With several copies, the nearest count.
Chain A
Amino acid sequence: MISVQSKKRMDNIMTSLFLCGAGFAVVLLVAFVGFVIVEGFSGMTPEMLSFTGSGMGNMFFNTLYLVFLALIASTITGIPAGIYLAEYAKKGRITHWVRMAVETLASLPSIVVGLFGYLVFIVMTGSQWNLFAGSLAVSILTLPLVTSVTEDALRNLPDSYRQGSLGLGASHWQTIWRVLLPACFPRIMTGLIMAAGRGFGEAAALMFTAGMSTDINWSNWDITSTSCPLNPFRPGETLALHIWALRTEALHADAAQQAAASSAILMILVVSFSLAARYMSWRIDKKMGGNK
């Protein structure tokens, strides 16, 4: 029979092992971020941050804009798809395959998605690289995430919400729209943040869809013109792609510093976006959830 003491010793040993594992992982991650940010800021010049041809301002803007478009695309298709799986789909073979298909989509190599996007969004539509096509390609990558987060969120809601609403004579859709979706908003938001993260970091899928250069004119607000910053049908290089280009084939003397600075900026962008979105969903959650 094991003595209580030896059990406790074992417990302590394992607890410290987990602590070490988790600690090591955290240190590693912090060191990683630290390295990228220090590296980036040490070689940064104000000119690099400018919104001109040589600065990364335009890429910064493109990144935000593309992720924004991609989020819209995956929101208006991914959330309905999630609702379909959670609420409308009948249990059975077809749903099973739909779900597997969705998950396969999530694990597709992005380079494959990029080539597919090129074929469908560029060649088949007869257009040239543009942010919109890029955002669609990114949304192929993020759709599964949004869909499955929505589905899970809906499934995990207490059944009482559904019962309460249906019992009042609400139709299924009224229940979904007025009760269920608002109730799982924070979780869907988390899904969207993660989707955005994927968009911020994506490069391979954009090479053939969004293009690798940016030519915009900040005084041109004619939305149909290809140099208008807000025109989604213009080519635009994102920060991640810019970093890739700088690391691989740039000729300027300061390409390496620029790449490092871009990496740091992108990292900060990802972090602050995620913090802001979390703060927002926390606020909404608090408003709805009362003082739980």
Chain B
Amino acid sequence: MAELTTTLSGYGAAQQKEASQDAAATRELEKESAKLTEATFDVTGLDLFYDQTQALKDISMKINKNEITAFIGPSGCGKSTFLKTLNRMNDWVEGCRITGKVLFEGKDIFKEVDPLALRYRVGMVFQQPTPFPKSVFENVAYGPRIQGINNKKQLEEIVEKSLRAAACWDEMKDRLHKSALGLSGGQQQRLCIARTLAANPSVILMDEPTSALDPISTQKIEDLALELKEKYTIVIVTHSMQQARRISDKTAFFLLGELIEYNNTVDMFTNPSNPKTEEYITGRFG
């Protein structure tokens, strides 16, 4: 677990009152070097069952650092299920059985990594915005608090940084201590992204983050995703082919639990190799 804890040291460093910029720089460096050597996720032969029904069939794929990977496919094809597997949120689903291997930064997430530590590193944003019924500040501070940071000053710093990173500091700085439930849907979703960022992850999983939002909010979230990929690895599930096309570097097409095609987004949309992919992206079904 040595490596994991090294990369987790961001906050440890902050507590030692080092300048936070230094820590960020260190992390940046670490990432740079990692990128050359390995994919963030390396999945091989993943099968997933809900009781008797198989929801994922023999999935193998690599997800690269500092890229946006989009999952597309018709409803029920297993996109969300696969996404949840990546940070072991399926642990909480009764009757869910997984075989196969998922490496996160080279470590087997089912054997070598503690699920809590994994989730610190791999954050998640859901389809419906899920702000807690707390103040904006407390929502963002939730992750750091969970990780044991209680120093007020430090929290304030983290909250501001995260809200800025999620492009909503200006809107929210005046209502930090009001309930987050009073925000609009788009604001709530960006708040949830800020909350995820505050936990200092290296990967952000997003499950149809814009499907409940109006076009203007959607635009903002898409811009945000493009910005964030500088620092984070992003996996996004979307039902909108347009969206996948607009923002992702790689696209994976799922159908009935199988990974049908996985390729650079541009290639996939201009020249799909599988006829089913073509049918789907040209709108002949789904």
- Residue numbers of A with Cβ under 8 A of B are 1-2, 4, 7-8, 91, 158, 160-171, 174, 178-179, 182-183, 287-292
Contacts and interface: CB of A to CB of B under 8 A. Distances in A.
Chain A interface, >50% SS class = helix
B132 A163 contact: no
A168 B199 contact: yes
B133 A2 contact: no
A289 B15 contact: no
23 contacts: A1-B11, A1-B12, A1-B147, A2-B147, A2-B148, A158-B130, A160-B128, A163-B130, A164-B192, A164-B195, A165-B142, A167-B124, A168-B119, A168-B146, A169-B117, A170-B142, A170-B146, A182-B134, A287-B179, A288-B134, A288-B179, A288-B181, A290-B182
B147 A164 contact: no
> Which of A162, A167, A183 has its CB near the most chain B CB atoms (within 10 A)?
A167
A160 B129 CA distance: 8
Nearest 8 A-B pairs (CB), nearest first?
A290-B182, A290-B179, A2-B148, A169-B119, A160-B130, A164-B130, A167-B124, A290-B181
B95 to A, nearest CB: 11
Given A4-B114, A4-B116, A292-B182, A169 B89 contact: no
Nearest to A183: B133
A256 to B, nearest CB: 50
B13 to A, nearest CB: 10
Interface residues of B, number: 40
B169 interface: no
A43 to B, nearest CB: 48
Contacts of B119: 166-169
Interface of B: 11-12, 15, 87, 89, 92, 94, 114, 116-120, 123-124, 126, 128-134, 142-143, 145-149, 178-183, 192, 195-196, 199
B180 A168 contact: no
A165 B181 CA distance: 16
A7 to B, nearest CB: 7
A238 to B, nearest CB: 37
B130 A161 contact: yes
A166 B92 contact: yes
B163 to A, nearest CB: 16
B17 to A, nearest CB: 14
Contact of A290 (B12, B87, B145, B180): B180
